[in-house]
């Protein structure tokens, strides 16, 4: 049976906010955009002590403000059973551990069988209605953690964090060749060639979008390195491009790699292993980890065994 979207936010006016206009308190507490404020006003989503008041009306210390998240129609994405793991979920967001080979959102080349289709099925079975609002995205063949906002405010709040670089995202990659240094930073802009629909290019001249990746060696093998990577920016294909640009393409990367890795792993050996964000409701940091998936564990073990035989 379908249930109404019950997500709401409650705030008790403090002594410091006594005498402020309602819209000022909403902005201070939740940083709602002007557009979102207009939507709340038109749809009468905000009450003070159980009553609707003008957004320019003054509030008093102790007043209780309740903001309801508007019930919405789902995207026109057909629900389908799709395999993925839910790491965490509440009324505001859902954190998913995505398996490799799964596209996040339907595209021209992948019209169904995506994570979005699976989420529509998952939520419909629980009587919930949400739009597909991914805050972070992963390539089809990159596995690991990503977060989806369950309503417009949660998505806007988390997207703003991302723009302000308050997120922490850490990846593990298995690359060709041994890294010489234990840690370092790759600061190279990424250029989008209008003639290339999929691949990007690292711009040695600085032309393009700024991109910064930090790396730290986890384990060296004879002809490969397991490396931990953190991002300051989130450009498309950033890690894959940056590692290839310094002579360490990711094993299995058929776009920026060396090719011929099919006997080692069926996809690029890249995994989003750690995610930390500031929760829009709890107003506290939350973090999740995902261990190295089976195919990457097997790859590392094969590389270790190769070392022991040489």
- Residues serving a catalytic function are 139
What length does the chain have? 310
CB proximity list for 20: less than 8 A, separation 6 or greater:
28, 58, 59
> Per DSSP, what are the bridge partners of residue 10?
66
DSSP per-residue codes, 42-94: HTT-EEETTB---TTSB--TT-EEEEEPPP-PPPS--------EEEEE-SSEE
Asked whether 290 and 273 are in contact (CB, 8 A), the reply is yes
Backbone angles phi, psi at 162, to 5 degrees: -60, -45
Give residue 205's Cα distance to chain centre.
29
In 199-274, where does DSSP find H-type helix?
Answer: 238-245
Closest Cα to residue 240, out of 171, 288, 289, 154?
171
Could you tell me if 305 and 283 are in contact, meaning their C-beta atoms sit under 8 angstroms apart?
no
Q: Is residue 201 within 8 Å of residue 211, measured between CB atoms?
A: no
How far apart, in whole angstroms, are the C-alpha atoms of residue 164 and residue 46? 28
C-alpha 217/C-alpha 248 separation (Å) is 12
Given the structure tokens 């690292």, which residue do they identify?
Answer: 202
């Amino acid at each position: 049976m379908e249930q109404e979207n019950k997500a709401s936010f409650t705030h008790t006016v403090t002594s410091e906010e006594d005498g402020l206009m309602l819209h000022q308190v909403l902005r201070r507490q939740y940083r709602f955009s002007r557009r979102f404020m207009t939507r709340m006003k038109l749809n009468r989503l905000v009450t003070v002590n159980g009553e609707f008041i003008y957004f320019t009306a003054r509030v008093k210390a102790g007043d209780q403000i309740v903001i309801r998240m508007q019930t919405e129609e789902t995207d026109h994405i057909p629900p389908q059973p799709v395999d993925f793991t839910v790491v965490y979920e509440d009324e505001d967001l859902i954190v998913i551990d995505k398996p490799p080979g799964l596209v996040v959102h339907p595209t021209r080349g992948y019209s169904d069988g995506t994570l979005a289709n699976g989420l529509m099925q998952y939520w419909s079975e629980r009587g919930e209605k949400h739009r597909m609002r991914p805050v972070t995205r992963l390539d089809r063949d990159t596995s690991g953690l990503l977060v989806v906002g369950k309503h417009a405010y949660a998505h806007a709040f988390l997207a703003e964090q991302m723009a302000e670089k308050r997120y922490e995202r850490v990846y593990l990659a298995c690359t060709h060749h041994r890294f010489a240094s234990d840690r370092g930073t790759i600061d190279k802009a990424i250029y989008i060639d209008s003639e290339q629909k999929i691949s990007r290019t690292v711009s040695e001249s600085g032309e393009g979008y700024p991109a910064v990746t930090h790396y730290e060696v986890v384990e060296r093998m004879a002809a490969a390195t397991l490396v931990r990577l953190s991002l300051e920016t989130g450009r498309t294909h950033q890690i894959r491009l940056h590692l290839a640009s310094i002579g360490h393409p990711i094993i299995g990367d058929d776009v920026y790699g060396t090719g011929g890795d099919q006997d080692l792993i069926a996809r690029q050996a890249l995994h989003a292993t750690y995610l930390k964000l500031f929760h829009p409701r709890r107003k506290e940091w939350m973090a999740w980890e995902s261990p190295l998936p089976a195919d990457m564990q097997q790859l590392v073990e094969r590389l270790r065994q190769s070392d022991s035989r040489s």
